[in-house]
Amino acid sequence: MLVPHPSMLIAPQNTVENHDNIMEGQKLHFDGSLMPNQSNIPSQFIWPDHEKPCLTPPELQIPPIDLKCFLSADPQALSTVCAELSEACKKHGFFLVVNHGVDSKLIAQAHKLIDDFFCMQLSQKQKAQRKIGEHCGYANSFIGRFSSKLPWKETLSFHYSADKSRKTVEDYFLNVMGEDFKQFGSVFQEYCEAMSKLSLGIMELLGMSLGVGRECFRDFFEGNESVMRLNYYPPCQKPELALGTGPHCDPTSLTILHQDQVEGLQVFVDGRWYSVAPKEDAFVVNIGDTFMALSNGMFKSCLHRAVVNNKIVRKSLAFFLCPNRDKVVTPPKDLISYENSRTYPDFTWPSLLEFTQKHYRSDTKTLDAFSRWLLEKNNPNRGAPTNVPWPTKSIN
């Protein structure tokens, strides 16, 4: 059921004072409780014409991958699922998972806590303010990266480590937000543990779909050091001009997203945008650049974005699976052949992360640009032109 969010009800009218409140010198802070009723949105949120959203795109048909097939003794069912998964991942890298085993009460609790967090006073949320150069914390000002346009959203991101001796999420909230956030931390610790477990199951299926066996990628991600992000998109009175999340590819390995019942996620396939309709009992999963490299370019990481609407808050929970920092991202040798030579060089996740933070945006060209950058960094005197793709082909 769609219920108006409290911040919509208490949002003051559009006044000069409100506008001033969100402007601080050149820096713009997005405050979800002040923005939803503004009939004229600040110019920083107006995207250029070629990036303006289409609010009624066709729906992307993506296969619901039924994880029950894992328990089934029927090899035919498993091979049908792997064939569907392989087709979707070769085309655009998006699929749904159903019968995933994650407790629906835990998902509902996580959504409720998103509301609780983002409805707090700005000064409270800013206790967790993300600092320049860091990836975690509360963010409502996204200036200074690679786009001059701002997304219409607030986010809260934090690290998760699959190392069982650590409770990274619980500790983060206790340290940053204090004792009152003990329960918040333990719910998201549990949620991240469930996502990590689910992603390892999906890795088994991806391994089977690529013909390299169940364990290959599961073992690789066993000690994952991942990131969880809570996205909060307040209503926007000019949804046709703004974007909640700008177009990007995920540089991470696999994203497991739970959207609330409000539509907004869009994927760029074959030259046009499609929507991904929310389904309460399903997670939307997409391949990220790191997995594209692990699959030797066979499975795609695809451009996606989120649009906003003028009626209701939209929320999403995104778990970004990342390898342990020491793991070398290299495709299994069965995926390399004379016809299918290496697409990308070996790398570690922190170096790709650094590249996307400091040098290049996360889009369809990131891996190619990163490969050239690595090559030059490792061979500074090789004297080759800077636009040589690594080493033989470029897939985007």
Ligand X SMILES: O=C(O)CCC(=O)C(=O)O
Considering beta carbons, is residue 200 or 265 the nearer one to ligand X? Answer: 265
Q: Which residues contact 28 (CB under 8 A, 6 or more apart)?
A: 22, 42, 44, 141, 143, 150
Give the nearest distance from C-beta 145 to ligand X in angstroms.
13
Q: Which residues contact 163 (CB under 8 A, 6 or more apart)?
A: 223
- Label residue 362 exposed, middle or buried (CB < 10 Å: 0-12, 13-18, 19+): buried
245 binds ligand X (CB under 6 A): yes
| Site residues (CB under 6 A) for ligand X, limited to 358-387 | none
Alpha helices (H) in 27-91, listed in sequence order: 75-91
Give the nearest distance from C-beta 40 to ligand X in angstroms.
25
Site string for ligand X, 253-282 (x = CB under 6 A): ----x-x----xx-----------------
60 binds ligand X (CB under 6 A): no
Q: Helices 168-177 and 182-209 meet at what angle, rounded to 10?
A: 150
Check 218, 305, 314, 342 and give the catalytic one.
314
Active site residue 314: yes
Considering beta carbons, is residue 283 or 344 the nearer one to ligand X? Answer: 283
**In the structure encoding, which two tokens stand for residue 79, read together?**
């091979």
The C-alpha atoms of residue 321 and residue 301 are separated, in whole angstroms, by 14
- Strand duo 64-66 + 94-98: pairing: parallel
Give the nearest distance from C-beta 284 to ligand X in angstroms.
8
Element (H, E) at 267: strand 265-269
Q: Which of 5, 258, 304, 342 binds ligand X (CB under 6 A)?
A: 304
Element (H, E) at 156: strand 154-161
316 binds ligand X (CB under 6 A): yes
The C-alpha atoms of residue 144 and residue 45 are separated, in whole angstroms, by 14
CA angle 158, 163, 165 (to 5 degrees): 105
Considering beta carbons, is residue 65 or 267 the nearer one to ligand X? Answer: 267
Give the nearest distance from C-beta 315 to ligand X in angstroms.
8
Give the nearest distance from C-beta 231 to ligand X in angstroms.
4
Q: Which of 249, 318, 329, 369 binds ligand X (CB under 6 A)?
A: 318
Considering beta carbons, is residue 88 or 257 the nearer one to ligand X? Answer: 257
The SS3 of residue 261 is coil
Considering beta carbons, is residue 186 or 357 the nearer one to ligand X? Answer: 357
Site string for ligand X, 190-229 (x = CB under 6 A): ---------------------------------------x
353 binds ligand X (CB under 6 A): no
Residue ranges that bind ligand X, judged by CB under 6 A: 229, 231, 245, 257, 259, 264-265, 304, 306, 316, 318
Q: Which residues are catalytic?
A: 314
